[in-house]
Structure 1
Amino acid sequence: MKKRLRIAVLLLTGIVFFGTNQAQEEIIIGKKYTMRSAVLGEDRAYWVALPADYSNSKYLPQQYPVVYLLDGDANFNSFTSLQQSLAKGPYAMIPQMIVVGVLNTDRTRDMTPTPAGRTAFYDKQQTMFRNSGGNASFIRFLEKELRPRIDSQFRTNGFNTLVGHSFGGLTAVNILLNHTPLFNSYIIIDPSLWWDNEVILRQADSLLPKKDFARRNIYVAHAWKEIVPQDTTTDHQRAIRYFGDLLERTQPKGLRWHWQYYPNEDHGTITIPAAYDALKFIYKGQQVHVKQAVDDPDLVVRHYANLSKQLGITVQPSEPYLDWMGNYCLTVNRPEPAIRFYQQSVAIYPRSKNTCLQLAKAWRQKGDTTLAAQWERRAEKL
């Protein structure tokens, strides 16, 4: 018995020793930054996840859209994972993007537009919402401090999306109505439009019919299985439904919108499926059928022209995407479409050494050594 025990201990020790001597590599999804906010009078932390190809030296540095994620400390991991999945490979449904998680210090203060007009039934001491009504200052922080910091710190392309859930959704609707240009797209998840006798909803009633939203996109998600511990549950449901009805009735000018009901989700579980669906809605038209594009490479050009029109900003296929398409064509011995994909790439990224070399490779596969040599010489000069 002692012998068997001694052998077991030795084996276990060996396993532990072996495991601790293996190279340990961290899996890092983002970095934490801190900035001093003069507007709010405090330090504010934010987390940033960069796109997979952000530092890929094979390609030229590119600019990326940015997603600002309210309640970043709660939603950063899940959101970055799902957006990376949607942005992966040649079948990507959305572009690679920079994700900025905005962390909270005083959530109720920052995300409510007015001081509380009433308290929750379980808040007998009337303390839960006492420090409310600081949304205007928080929005100024986003506009005057955080946005400029991100734009100067990272390579951004000017297309910005705001994601807000619950009080964050209330903030998103407030910004949409009163600070529309601040973001291009809004993902509004089960927003707390019941706040202060529906003060923001009443503004929506007034502004939606007459305002030009200038190519803004919004996705509104509504959960059914309410578990919010407050006496405003009925108001919460009714307010979101009214907002959806208001969008349908007024058809606001310049606003591309979608309202989605999630009968099997509650206030806590709706964030992931809603964000997934919302990203696909915003970038509908991003995905190009690979085999159709191989047969007609200019399909990519037309696709992105339509997407640019939809989003109100010029959108180009990325260099990694065009490289993948061209390389796929070379792999299946289709040099003609490969040449067309690399011609598209060199038109957008004329100083890309990789594109010039790949174009030379495509011409060589086609049998034109003269053009292949020309592109190789051009690559040498870059």
Structure 2
Amino acid sequence: MKAKLIKHIILITIVVLSCHQSNAQLANKIEMTEDYQLLGLGTQHKIQSDILKEERPVIISLPVGYHDNQAEYPVLYVLDGLQNIKHTVGTVELLTESGLIPPIIVVGIESLDRNRDFTPSKAGEDLQGSTGNSGIPQSGGAPKFLEFLSEELIPFVDNNYRTHPYRILEGHSFGGLFSVYTLMENPELFDAFIIQSPALWWNKEEMTEKAKTFFKSNRILNKTVYFGIGGGDGWGMQQELIRYVDVVKQYQPKNFRWLHEEVGDEGHMASRLLLNYNGLKFLFSDLKLNEDLISNFSDNSFLDAEEQLKTKYGNMARRPAEDYFNLVSVLVNKENDLEAITVLKKASEAYPMYIGLLTQLAKLYEKTNQKEKAIDTYLLGVEVSKRYKLGQEDDLQKEIEKLRKN
């Protein structure tokens, strides 16, 4: 029994390594212009806003494979979009490839006057960062900007792209202030928030005062919120965010999933990439397999959980590949081969480029006397190997011939 267990562990390890070695560096093509400029960040649209009385540019980045299916995708709305589009799109693609987040549409909203658009109230003459005379005279435009999002931008995106209802708002500094304002002013507009280094010092921490009423009156709040800040951020940020979070702790609404963390020693501007990465991972952390599903595994509970994720985040949602591997390892070690087949079928659908998943699935079909299914799976593996130049066609063909002779 011990020798069989060791054999199973070695087999799973080989499959995991082969999958990562064969597929980890496979890159999707990026569109290139005639003069060899790489694209890939998205397409700029200009929206004539009747609410703001101006033309508003936005950058829309579609996930890889968008035009190859009819799936609907969650949407991430990023404030200061021109400033943040490069690192955001790169992070989204990396996390999507890893299965840590589902494929999403990114909408970068370019800033024209962030002092106006992101501030919820007029600033007085004693405002930090002002000249000391009249404060910031154009401030207080957040209500109109929120109306623009709700009545013009989001309908534009929903009408022109295949969007899933799940929406995220992400903002840094003044954009974080606006995100906090939006959470409390129109909580139904977004399902989740990535709030980075928010300028909660604004007008003597008025958002924190508002939070005391908001969270007290909203005892159930089906939202996910990441509050992140760099460990080296300075005056007006860290302690102010802590005081806001203390209000959340005091009232702790039911179903309100949230995290507050200070990251590294990055300052105010340098922290954005890390906060975007950590925030996205936290929002979609329920894609990770939980211990209860593993320890009390059944085909029905597993398949139900998979469908719940697709309902919440769209049909392209999937778990991290490592989670599928680990679950298969547990089931094989328990000699629950048919249940392992159920997981591998889902995993190979989610990661069609991972030939090791097909190889392990074919071996389990063979082990459970399902010869024709094993052959079909090996044949599919041959196609995948050819398509992505993995060089495993001959080995797979040998397995097919062995099965056909028996």
- TM-score under structure 2 normalisation? 0.68
| Partners of 1:330 and 1:338 within 8 A in 2 | no
- Which of 72, 89, 92 is residue 83 of structure 1 equivalent to? 92
Superposition map of 1:76-225 within 5 A: 76-88=85-97, 91-120=98-127, 123-124=130-131, 126=133, 129-225=136-232
CA offset at residue 38 of structure 1? 0.6
User: Deviation per CA, 1:197-245, whole angstroms, max 9, x where unpaired?
Assistant: 1111111011112204542100001233235xxxxx2x43322110122
Give distance in 2, aligned partners of 1:277 and 1:106: 28
CA offset at residue 249 of structure 1? 2.1
Letter of the 2:262 counterpart? Y
Give distance in 1, aligned partners of 2:140 and 2:277: 30
Q: Which residue of 2 aligns with 1:62?
A: 71
Give distance in 2, aligned partners of 1:144 and 1:178: 15
| Partners of 1:326 and 1:338 within 8 A in 2 | no
Matched, 1:40 2:52: yes
Greater shift after overlay, 23-32 or 118-127?
118-127
Give distance in 2, aligned partners of 1:280 and 1:272: 12
Structural RMSD (CA): 3.4
Give distance in 2, aligned partners of 1:86 and 1:297: 27
Superposition map of 1:1-382 within 5 A: 24=36, 26-56=38-68, 60-88=69-97, 91-120=98-127, 123-124=130-131, 126=133, 129-227=136-234, 233=235, 235-287=236-288, 301-305=303-307, 307=309, 317=317, 322=349, 324=351, 328=355, 331-332=358-359, 334-335=361-362, 361-362=376-377
CA offset at residue 179 of structure 1? 0.3
**1:323–1:110 distance in 2 versus 1, CA, 3 Å:** closer
| Partners of 1:94 and 1:287 within 8 A in 2 | no
User: Deviation per CA, 1:266-305, whole angstroms, max 9, x where unpaired?
Assistant: 111111111111111111132469xx9xx99878625435
Greater relative contact order (Cα 8 A, min sep 6): structure 1 or 2?
2
Give distance in 1, aligned partners of 2:237 and 2:104: 32
**1:301–1:326 distance in 2 versus 1, CA, 3 Å:** farther
Give distance in 2, aligned partners of 1:211 and 1:105: 34
Give distance in 2, aligned partners of 1:225 and 1:326: 41
Give distance in 2, aligned partners of 1:167 and 1:174: 10
User: Deviation per CA, 1:73-121, whole angstroms, max 9, x where unpaired?
Assistant: 1101001101110000xx4100011000001111111000000023456
User: Deviation per CA, 1:20-64, whole angstroms, max 9, x where unpaired?
Assistant: xx98363332111001001101000000111011123xxx32111
| Partners of 2:197 and 2:228 within 8 A in 1 | yes
Structure 1 unaligned spans of 5+: 1-21, 228-232, 340-357, 366-382
Give distance in 2, aligned partners of 1:333 and 1:196: 60
Q: Which residue of 1 aligns with 2:15?
A: none
Greater shift after overlay, 153-162 or 217-226?
217-226
Q: Residue 74 of structure 1: SS of its match in structure 2? A: helix
| Partners of 2:221 and 2:254 within 8 A in 1 | yes
User: Deviation per CA, 1:239-269, whole angstroms, max 9, x where unpaired?
Assistant: 2110122222221233111111225121111
| Partners of 1:214 and 1:255 within 8 A in 2 | yes
Give distance in 1, aligned partners of 2:38 and 2:270: 29
**1:121–1:202 distance in 2 versus 1, CA, 3 Å:** closer
Give distance in 2, aligned partners of 1:128 and 1:44: 26
Give distance in 2, aligned partners of 1:326 and 1:80: 22
Question: More strand by proportion, 1 or 2?
Answer: 1
Give distance in 2, aligned partners of 1:130 and 1:114: 11
Percent of aligned pairs with the same residue? 26
Give distance in 2, aligned partners of 1:161 and 1:132: 25
Structure 2 unaligned spans of 5+: 1-33, 319-345, 367-372, 381-406
User: Deviation per CA, 1:170-196, whole angstroms, max 9, x where unpaired?
Assistant: 111111112001000000001111111
| Partners of 1:69 and 1:102 within 8 A in 2 | yes
- TM-score under structure 1 normalisation? 0.72
Q: Residue 36 of structure 1: SS of its match in structure 2? A: strand
| Partners of 1:118 and 1:196 within 8 A in 2 | no
| Partners of 1:325 and 1:338 within 8 A in 2 | no
Give distance in 1, aligned partners of 2:129 and 2:316: 52
Q: Which residue of 2 aligns with 1:345?
A: none
Q: Residue 225 of structure 1: SS of its match in structure 2? A: coil
Letter of the 2:255 counterpart? G
Aligned pair count reads: 310
Give distance in 1, aligned partners of 2:217 and 2:298: 43
